[in-house]
Amino acid sequence: MRSFKSSSRPAQVLLAITLLASCSGQGDAGADRSDEESKVKGYTMDQHSHARPEEAVITHLDLDITVDPAQRTIAGVAAYRIKGAEHGRIILDTDDIRVESVLDQAGSPLEFELGDSSFLGRPLEVELKATTSSIAIKYRTGRNAKALQWLSPQQTADKEHPFLFTQGQAILTRSWIPVQDSPGIRFTYDATVRVPEALMAVMSAINPQERSSDGVYHFKQERPIPAYLIALAVGDIVFKPVDDRTGVYAERSVVDKAAWEFADMGDMLRTAEDLYGPYRWGRYDVIVLPPSFPFGGMENPCLTFATPTILAGDRSLTALVAHELAHSWSGNLVTNATWNDFWLNEGFTVYFEGRISEAIYGPDYAGMLQQLGRQDLELTLAQIAKSKHPEDSRLRLDLAGRDPDDGMTDVAYEKGAAFLRLIESKVGRAKFDSFIRQYFDEFAFQSMTTDRFLSYLEAQLLAPNKVKLDLAEWVDGSGLPANAPTPVSDRFVKVDKEIKRWEEGAGPRDLATEEWSTFEWMHFLRHLPKELSEARLKELDRAFGFTKSGNAEVLAAWFEVCIRNDHDEAYDRLDDFLATVGRRKFLVPLYTEMTRTEKGRIMAQTIYKNARPNYHSVSVRTIDELLSWKDDHPPVNF
Ligand code: BES
Ligand code: ZN
């Protein structure tokens, strides 16, 4: 690697950006004066990227990489078409990446410099000539590339071949591709990916459905996307169609189950289009990953990445597919300009997911989904209120100086969706729907700030309909405003009645549970009395078989009850679950519950020591912090 003296410029740049961007935090609702201040040439300042797109910006990526599971590295060339070379330099983001050379379109070397390292990684500054139209960066990923999870055969379903997947959101793509890693910067991409012949590669692009004979795969993403949506998975993967526009990828032993579980994908897609306009990405497929995937789902364009923990065997958890599909509009088409505007991605998506679910599974189902979401939000708000960052309960975040991942909570999802439901209730569904559709059309393939959205909302929907709303309270206020609509669910009222009967002495088998769906069981488990005797727990488990459940949501909710009451009959299964499942949403409440007692803390440390090597870096970061984990083997860099 060429070594350069580190310059102090990145720190200054960061400071300047932080100061500038902080101007945009206080904009009064409906006006976009502050928005203008933080914008240069149409770009909103992003505190989480070193890029300066107002100088030089990437417009297209040609990626040519070799994936080596044995060495656990990706190496190759990221070549970019760029605009703005006359500014004399371009700055990209990297994290734990070794840059070997940078060449221009004629193959002549360009000077480059890697700046200081911080939680944002290291800026890569490349000197440009006025005539530079493209740059080709030869690089190799590091041992601890945060986006990548390399799995041994043992960590996969079929246990025969290694597996690799990437997770880009929020700022991890820079750890496997040197790139301008900001949600406000979009580009198209072509990729050539070379993998061992026994494996197949898929990306967030139009994908192959068959194996290639030589392990070389070509991809094209013709729509401009931000860097966090570039994704790659490599493994012994096969494809099975669901209908002519949708299908699933998974390991061989999983693909049939997945195709059955997601049979409604085609319907979901049509329903979404009927609501908010054409699907603009060609195909919509889902890949079911090994269980260490840290999220439920990730909306990578054309190909949602999903956890296998939604394969419940009864199609009861497929709202997650509706959610990730909805991101094809909210998030992937109209994208949060910075991570402070994250609610524009997730709040809209939860709202939209609810509408798809309502249309396909009915209002009862959607009502339960909303109630569960509200329960999550209330817990989150209570935790945030006593945390180091009580301001995280605002919709518009201020994540300057912090890893954006830390501010991405249920607030964006559920308070965001509640805000949209409130607006819907004020103007009526028909008007709200045509407003949203127009919003997606008008801002397609662009980024959106909170201020810009509020101005548009005011001008296009609220003012013409003479609706007055305290937008500032919703966007910059803490907690949940008093006018938030309250979700109702008759079916949960029935569950509450059965809980009461059980508390008053009815036997579990006498409860009217025959018709219950996963959501009712979740509500049941969440609302059992906090303290339960061993006899009561045994009785429940014998009647309903929770510890043996194949439904991850039910299992996780049950484990919380068991840990709280030290019901140790469930601990073998809990240990197993935490050793295989890396989905952060399950890990956080379970490890948190364990930290409440001395015995639990010791158990958490023991389980985690064994499970940690199976988790992706985003889960490791969270659980390390939760358990104040001291790593015996700190990461090895170059
Ligand atoms: N985009 C998110 C996942 C994400 C958020 C990744 C923040 C990195 C940072 C995805 O769309 C999502 O919200 N997934 C949820 C499922 C959903 C049904 C609420 C999840 O993973 O649980
Ligand atoms: Zn989402």
Specify the range with the lowest mean pLDDT, choosing from 23-37, 104-118, 293-307: 23-37
Give the list of residues 6+ apart from residue 634 with CB closer than 8 angstroms, or none. Answer: none
Which residue has its alpha carbon closest to ligand 1 atom 2? 298
Q: Is the CB of 408 under 6 A from ligand 1?
A: yes
> How much is the pLDDT for 631?
81
> How much is the pLDDT for 17?
39
What does pLDDT average to over the chain? 94
Ligand 1 centre to CA of 148 (Å) is 17
> How much is the pLDDT for 145?
98
Distances (CA, A) of 363 to 401, 404, 523: 42, 34, 17
State the pLDDT confidence band at 634, using cuts at 50, 70 and 90. Answer: low
Q: Is the CB of 295 under 6 A from ligand 1?
A: yes
Q: With 80 as the cut, is the pLDDT of residue 13 above it?
A: no
pLDDT digits (tens, 9 = 90+) for 46-56: 999 999 999 99
Ligand 2 centre to CA of 335 (Å) is 12
Q: Which residue has the higher pLDDT, 633 or 578?
A: 578
> How much is the pLDDT for 633?
63
Quote the CA–CA distance of 188 and 206 in Å, as a whole number: 12
Q: With 90 as the cut, is the pLDDT of residue 376 above it?
A: yes
Per DSSP, 483 falls in state: T
Give the list of residues 6+ apart from residue 364 with CB closer than 8 angstroms, or none. Answer: 489, 490, 491
pLDDT digits (tens, 9 = 90+) for 305-352: 999 999 999 999 999 999 999 999 999 999 999 999 999 999 999 999
**Domains by residue range for the chain, with CATH:** 334-476 (1.10.390.10), 523-627 (1.25.40.320)
> How much is the pLDDT for 7?
36
Q: Say what percent of the chain tops pLDDT 90.
A: 92
Average pLDDT, integer, range 341-366: 98
Average pLDDT, integer, range 191-220: 98
Quote the CA–CA distance of 110 and 268 in Å, as a whole number: 49
Ligand 2 centre to CA of 45 (Å) is 23
Q: With 80 as the cut, is the pLDDT of residue 77 above it?
A: yes
Tally Cβ neighbours within 10 Å of residue 603.
20
Give the list of residues 6+ apart from residue 558 with CB closer than 8 angstroms, or none. Answer: 525, 541, 546, 547, 549, 570
Ligand 1 centre to CA of 342 (Å) is 11
Are 570 and 559 in contact by the 8 Å Cβ rule? The answer is: yes
Ligand 1 centre to CA of 298 (Å) is 6
pLDDT digits (tens, 9 = 90+) for 501-540: 999 999 999 999 999 999 999 999 999 999 999 999 999 9
Ligand nearest to the CA of residue 409, numbered in listed order: 1
pLDDT digits (tens, 9 = 90+) for 210-264: 999 999 999 999 999 999 999 999 999 999 999 999 999 999 999 999 999 999 9
Query: Tokens 């740049």 — which residue?
Result: 13
Q: Is the CB of 320 under 6 A from ligand 1?
A: yes
Are 479 and 411 in contact by the 8 Å Cβ rule? The answer is: no
Average pLDDT, integer, range 478-482: 98
Average pLDDT, integer, range 68-90: 98
Ligand 2 centre to CA of 527 (Å) is 26
Ligand nearest to the CA of residue 347, numbered in listed order: 2
Q: Which atom of ligand 1 lies nearest, measured to the CA of 169?
A: 8
State the pLDDT confidence band at 40, using cuts at 50, 70 and 90. Answer: confident
Counting beta carbons within 10 angstroms of the beta carbon of residue 158, is it exposed (0 to 12), middle (13 to 18) or buried (19 or more)? middle
Q: Is the CB of 326 under 6 A from ligand 1?
A: no
State the pLDDT confidence band at 35, using cuts at 50, 70 and 90. Answer: low
Q: Is the CB of 324 under 6 A from ligand 1?
A: yes
Is 55 labeled as catalytic in the residue annotation?
Answer: no
Pocket probe for ligand 1: among 146, 171, 204, 298, the residue whose CB has the most ligand atoms within 8 Å is 298
Q: Is the CB of 583 under 6 A from ligand 1?
A: no
Ligand 1 centre to CA of 169 (Å) is 9
Ligand 1 centre to CA of 129 (Å) is 41
Q: Which atom of ligand 1 lies nearest, measured to the CA of 324?
A: 11
> How much is the pLDDT for 41?
85
Ligand 1 centre to CA of 111 (Å) is 39
The residue ranges of DSSP E strands in 37-88, in sequence order, are 39-40, 43-44, 57-68, 73-83
pLDDT digits (tens, 9 = 90+) for 399-448: 999 999 999 999 999 999 999 999 999 999 999 999 999 999 999 999 99
Is 413 labeled as catalytic in the residue annotation?
Answer: yes
Query: Tokens 């954006």 — which residue?
Result: 404
Residue type, 76: G
Average pLDDT, integer, range 356-378: 98
Give the list of residues 6+ apart from residue 94 with CB closer than 8 angstroms, or none. Answer: 114, 121, 122, 123, 124, 139, 174, 175, 178
Q: With 90 as the cut, is the pLDDT of residue 205 above it?
A: yes
Q: Which atom of ligand 1 lies nearest, measured to the CA of 296?
A: 21
Q: Is the CB of 323 under 6 A from ligand 1?
A: yes
Q: Is the CB of 169 under 6 A from ligand 1?
A: yes
Pick the catalytic residue from 125, 324, 358, 520: 324
**Residue 425: which H helix or E strand, with range?**
helix 416-427
Q: Say what percent of the chain tops pLDDT 70.
A: 93
Question: β-strand 186-194 against 57-68: which pairing, if any?
Answer: parallel
Q: With 60 as the cut, is the pLDDT of residue 15 above it?
A: no
Q: Is the CB of 352 under 6 A from ligand 1?
A: no
Query: Tokens 């909710």 — which residue?
Result: 557
Find the farthest-apart pair of alpha carbons in the chain and give their distance in angstroms, rounded: 82
Cross-sheet strand order for the sheet of 112-114: 89-94, 122-127, 112-114
Q: With 70 as the cut, is the pLDDT of residue 21 above it?
A: no
Q: Is the CB of 194 under 6 A from ligand 1?
A: no
Q: Which atom of ligand 1 lies nearest, measured to the CA of 404?
A: 9
Which residue has its alpha carbon closest to ligand 1 atom 20? 296
Q: Is the CB of 299 under 6 A from ligand 1?
A: yes
Q: What is the CA radius of gyration of the chain?
A: 24
Q: What are phi and psi of 68, to 5 degrees?
A: -120, 95
Pocket probe for ligand 1: among 295, 368, 376, 622, the residue whose CB has the most ligand atoms within 8 Å is 295
Q: With 70 as the cut, is the pLDDT of residue 23 above it?
A: no
pLDDT digits (tens, 9 = 90+) for 100-153: 999 999 999 999 999 999 999 999 999 999 999 999 999 999 999 999 999 999
Pick the catalytic residue from 228, 413, 439, 615: 413
Specify the range with the lowest mean pLDDT, choosing from 9-13, 68-72, 191-195: 9-13
> How much is the pLDDT for 560?
98
State the pLDDT confidence band at 28, using cuts at 50, 70 and 90. Answer: very low
> How much is the pLDDT for 197?
98
Which residue has its alpha carbon closest to ligand 1 atom 8? 169
Ligand nearest to the CA of residue 318, numbered in listed order: 1
